[in-house]
Structure 1
Amino acid sequence: MGENYIYTNYFEDVNPGYEKNGFKLKDRKDPDEISTKLYDALYKTFFYDYTRMCKYGINCAQIRGQKFKGPLFYSIFLLKDPKSLEVDFILSSDYIGPSINQMKLIGGYRDFEIKNLLRLSRTLGGHILWPRGYKGKPTINQVRGGEIGKGYGFYDRIDWTLFLLKTYYFFIESIKDPCFETYCKKTVENFKDVEITEDDKRCFEALYKAFEDSYEWFKKFGTFKNFCDFFLLKGSFVDETYEVLELTTFFPIKPVNYCEYVKNNIRAINDRNELIKNNYIKKVI
C-alpha cells in the first residue's frame, strides 16, 4: 500500500458520486462503520509495527466485520495473545474533522461547501481509534459528539476531547485514583478568568465517565505524550510540548466562530497527514 492511502477520501469510498447535485448528505453512509479501506489504512498505520505495538503491550490486531441486527460494520480487535481468541480491546474509527451536522447547524455551511471540505477532512489524518464501548455505556465517540443534553454538548470538538484526556492522564501519570471532583478541579484551574457553568461541568463529567470506562486502554500508554506519539498527533492537534491546540476558543464550548474551528481543524488534519506520510516513508526506507 503506497502513501496515497493517506490522502484517500474515505467518505467518497462509501458514498461514490457524493459531489453530484442529486446526492443528499442526509442519506450518507458512514466510513467509520463500513469502509474496509479506512480500517485497512488505520491498521497498517498503527498496528503494522510489531516492535512499536509490543512497547505498549499490544500483541495482536485484527480487522473484523460484525453483523447483529443492523448492517455489517467493522472494528479492530486487539487480542491478548496471537494464539488466543481472547479479546483485550475493540477499537472503532472516529472522525475527528468538522462534523457535517455542526457545519450546517452552527456554521451555516451549504451542502456544496461541506462536500468540498470532505475531500480534505475525510483523509486518514481525520480519523482516530477509540475503544468501542462497554455494556451499552456512552462511548467517547458518542459523548464528544453533538449535544449530549439540552443546552450543552461538545459539538464534536476534538480539541476539547484531547484537552480533557490530557487532564485525565494527569491522574494516570501521577498514579492517583481520579474522582470527578478532583478531575473537574484540575480542568477548571486552567480557566481562572472563565465562569464555569453547571452545563460545562456536566460536559466534563460525561467525558470523564467515558474515559473511566476506557481506563485500561489509556493506561497502556502510560502518559499523554505516549498516546499522542502512538496516534501521530504531535505537531497537528498538540504542539511540540504536547499542549493541546485550541481550534477555536475553548469557551464557550459551542463555537462562536465555527469558520475558525473548521479552518484550524482542516489545517491540523493536513499537518497530521504529513506526519503519517513521513512515518510511512521511514518504514519503507
Structure 2
Amino acid sequence: MTKIKFIAIILFTALISSCSSDDSGENQSGDAYFKFTYDGKVQNVKTWEALKQGDFIEVMGTSQEGIVIDFKFNVYGNLYQALTNPTIATSEIPWLEASENFTSNTFTFTLENINTTDKTVQVKFSGKVYDDGYDYESDFINVSGSFKVSYEEITPAVEGLGTFAKLDGKDWHGLALDSTIENQETKILYAQNDGEYTIGIAFPKYGAKVGTFAFTNNNFANRISFQKYDPATHEYIDYDVSGTVTYTTINDLYVAGTFSLTATHPLTKAKIVISNGTFKEGN
C-alpha cells in the first residue's frame, strides 16, 4: 500500500510565490528566523510564509540561492510532507521529498513551540530528501535547519479533520493521506502520520450507513484495519484485527465516527490495543 499525498489540495491554500510586506520574513518581529542547510551549503533565507488551518500548518522558506523548502505538519509535531525544489523550473536543482513511508525513520522533525497568542511556530529539522520519496535507494540530499516564524490563521474548509487513538496507551494523531477502492465495493481511507503505523477506515463505497459494527479480518467493509511499515523489507505488515467501529456521519464531504480494536501481528502474535479512537476524514 502506497500513500498518495493529496493534503496540499484538501487542507492547505497554496502559498503565493511572492510575499507582501505583511508576511515576508524580512518584515516579521526581530526574533523571527529561518536557518537552512542544503547538501552541506548554508542557504540565505530572507523570505518565508506560514499558514495554519485548524490543527494543520504549512511553512515555506525561499533562499536567495534559488531553493524552496516546504513543510506540512500538525500541531502535535507529526510531519506529513517535506519538499525541496528550485525557484525556477529550468534550474538544475532537483525536486526532492522526504520519504513518503515512515518519514521519521529518515527525517527528524521537532516541533519546539507553538504560541497561539503571538501566532508563531518554532521547529528544528534534519534528514534526507529523496529523488523518489517511495524509494529509500534513490538519490538523496541532506538538509537541516530551524525556524521561528509568524503564521497566518485561516478557517479550514472542513473543521476537525483527522484521526486520533491511543496505541497501547500512547496518543496517536494521523490524517487520511491515501484512499483506495477494495473489491470495487469497499472504500478505505488510510490515516497516517510520519510514524510506522497506518489505520484504515473501511466502509461500503455505495449505500454506507451510520451505526455500530463489530468486525474481524473476515469483514470487507465497516471495519478498521491496522498496518505497520517494515523498513527492512519496505513493505507494510497487515495485522489481524478484532474490534468495533461506529459511523456517526457519512456524507459527500467527510466520514466521522469512533473505534476500538486489538491488532495482532500475523507471525509473532504480539498485540497492540487501540482505544479511544475517533475519526473525521475527507470522503
Higher percent of residues as helix: 1
TM norm structure 2: 0.27
TM norm structure 1: 0.27
Based on CA coordinates, which of the two structures has the bigger radius of gyration? 2
Q: State the structure with bigger RCO (CA 8 A, min sep 6), 1 or 2.
A: 1
